[in-house]
Chains A and B, each alone.
Chain A
């Protein structure tokens, strides 16, 4: 445990606690939690493992819904705008976490709170109104049933303040569709883990925040010097301009290598999409890029990667919104073999309006399309819809059915694993899921990506360590060997990237502005300098990497062990990608080699300090982090490696 003085700055100071069952509101100090984990997700994870009993399920009132703005959020640190939303994962039953940028997190801090922890359940629809010290639980019957755009408008009018920031759910969350998102500023989705489903289950429609307070730092002048250096780096990096429109700048080029390595076609039948389709979808004059009306940035972000889109022709002309992202290309286009640009943008806008997680929609519905193709389900099961690849109209209809639980949508809304059990007939083989959560990620070609996605403690998403290549956007040196398709040395890179992501989520820095992109933006050295000048700690890089970059992952892994039966088996890529090779393109024949993958996994466990064979946490590792009590809990359940 690190003993290096108290936290003296950057925090808002308090954690806001709300019990929806008993309508109770109280606060506590953030400091002691922040000293252990720095802040943000770390605090959420600590509270969850200390307070949620292993028998509690996501739908129990005892489940917590935790919001954590990182410790640097609200200062001028580049990209420090992120909020972690943690709760029990509706798919895995273990730790759930989703991360989102925008303006809501900073506003929460200006209102005086670092974290917001919600327990209990309301009987009737409600929303929370937080205006500095005034915190109210208000009736939400007038917005229940409205989509996210409508709700945002109505609440703005009702409250009469343009500066409020809102986190809310759409009809999908209200209907407890498992893959529901929490949407911020109508545009940014906290998508994974079913966080919106839990919010809906608590009958909580929205959280409105307005803050007027200040955030102080320990040594203002020194802090500002570090910040100035960081901004200068972001300005000087030659890749910044390209990254501002990354989905367009990269994918508009049909020869870009990402088209070969990152894309999954027709629910995993192939990893290679035809050149003419790439061009049709991404043509700068007639494709998706032509609908970009501007670009926006999150709070205090010098990169700015969110295109503002307006559909400029066809049936959906005039529909618009902010934040189009690469996953939409991977998910809503390639996965369904849809190259109609307007329909792809519309399907993305629709998921935001209905409050669905785009990845869940893409992975789950493309599975159903494949079952239809294979004759495992028929028109009778789909309410007459012909789920043919490339049919965008049908995709849009299916998204609505899912959100409103109509017909086959009702079957899918309870999660695809459940649906596969009901459908039977080998349907589970075609379902691409990790730890129960449907996944759109590529596995067969980029091995670091496959390892990170398969081992993610929050189930099947890439942000906990995925690596693509050493020089994705820039020259930043990183550990490990990053030849995309190699197995050798990948684990080093994945663990390093996983550790830096821990820091980023605890500090609230966007990982795009941090270490993930590979461009010359913020580094570990910058993190240490910001923490020391801002929070008044006296850390070295080693202490940061050995403690704060490790504790959060261990809390989440322990939570999974206490709440589920996850084992090494659950850290292996989906069966389909171990059995079927890529069908065409330069990586034809590529699939996951189980032996080589398992060697990679051994090394991965070892590098985290866990038992190489079982993947279980060790007493030594946990005690070093000051988590003796958690080691005891695990030992009692026989889930600790005691050697």
Chain B
């Protein structure tokens, strides 16, 4: 299973980063998250990164980052999804 982001659908709201911190700490603590999001409001670029610490929300019902991304930018892909598909989702 792999979580991928569709850059075209991402609004840079950082909700995924915050949701992930809740999974780990039961608090709201963006410094403790597997995801970091930042954006440049002048040129419009968005940086989104998920690091290797992601434990796929062990113990939770569902993946919190995916659940709280109301923009549908985060998607779950199976391990056997082909390259083409993954690329499409940035």
Interfacial residues, chain A to chain B (CB-CB below 8 A): 74-76, 103, 110, 149, 152-153, 162-163, 185-187, 212-217, 220-221, 224, 228, 231, 234-235, 240, 293-302, 304, 308, 310, 320-323
- Interface contact B12-A220, CB-CB below 8 Å: no
20 contacts between A and B (CB under 8 A): A75-B28, A76-B19, A76-B22, A76-B68, A186-B41, A214-B25, A214-B29, A221-B26, A228-B67, A293-B44, A295-B11, A296-B41, A297-B71, A300-B15, A300-B18, A301-B13, A304-B11, A304-B13, A320-B42, A322-B41
Nearest CB in chain A: distance from B71 CB, A: 7
From DSSP, what is the main secondary structure of chain B's interface residues? loop
- Interface contact A302-B44, CB-CB below 8 Å: no
User: Known contacts A76-B68, A321-B42; is A297 also within 8 Å of B11 by CB?
Assistant: yes
CB-nearest residue of chain A to B27: A214
Whether B39 is near chain A, meaning CB under 8 Å from some CB there, is yes
- Interface contact B70-A217, CB-CB below 8 Å: no
- Interface contact A300-B14, CB-CB below 8 Å: yes
Nearest CB in chain B: distance from A206 CB, A: 15
A-facing mask of B1-32, CB < 8 A → 1, else 0? 00000000001111100110110011111111
- Interface contact A163-B38, CB-CB below 8 Å: yes
- Interface contact A302-B70, CB-CB below 8 Å: yes
**8 Å CB contact of A214 from B11, B14, B32, B38:** B32
CB-nearest residue of chain A to B36: A163
Interfacial residues, chain B to chain A (CB-CB below 8 A): 11-15, 18-19, 21-22, 25-32, 38-39, 41-44, 67-68, 70-71
- Interface contact A152-B42, CB-CB below 8 Å: yes
In the complex, what residues of A have CB within 8 A of residue B30's CB?
110
- Interface contact A220-B41, CB-CB below 8 Å: no
CB-nearest residue of chain B to A73: B28
Per the bound structure, the CA–CA distance linking A187 and B40 in Å amounts to 10
- Interface contact A297-B12, CB-CB below 8 Å: yes
Closest 6 CB pairs of A and B: A214-B29, A302-B70, A297-B13, A297-B11, A304-B11, A214-B27
Per the bound structure, the CA–CA distance linking A186 and B38 in Å amounts to 14
Per the bound structure, the CA–CA distance linking A236 and B42 in Å amounts to 32
Nearest CB in chain A: distance from B34 CB, A: 16
- Interface contact A215-B42, CB-CB below 8 Å: no
Q: Which of A153, A214, A215, A310 has the most CB of B within 10 A?
A: A214
**8 Å CB contact of A308 from B14, B44, B67:** B44
In the complex, what residues of B have CB within 8 A of residue A74's CB?
28
**8 Å CB contact of A320 from B11, B15, B25, B44:** B44
CB-nearest residue of chain B to A74: B28
In the complex, what residues of A have CB within 8 A of residue B26's CB?
220-221
CB-nearest residue of chain B to A224: B22
- Interface contact A320-B39, CB-CB below 8 Å: no
- Interface contact A162-B38, CB-CB below 8 Å: yes
- Interface contact B41-A321, CB-CB below 8 Å: yes
Nearest CB in chain B: distance from A463 CB, A: 22
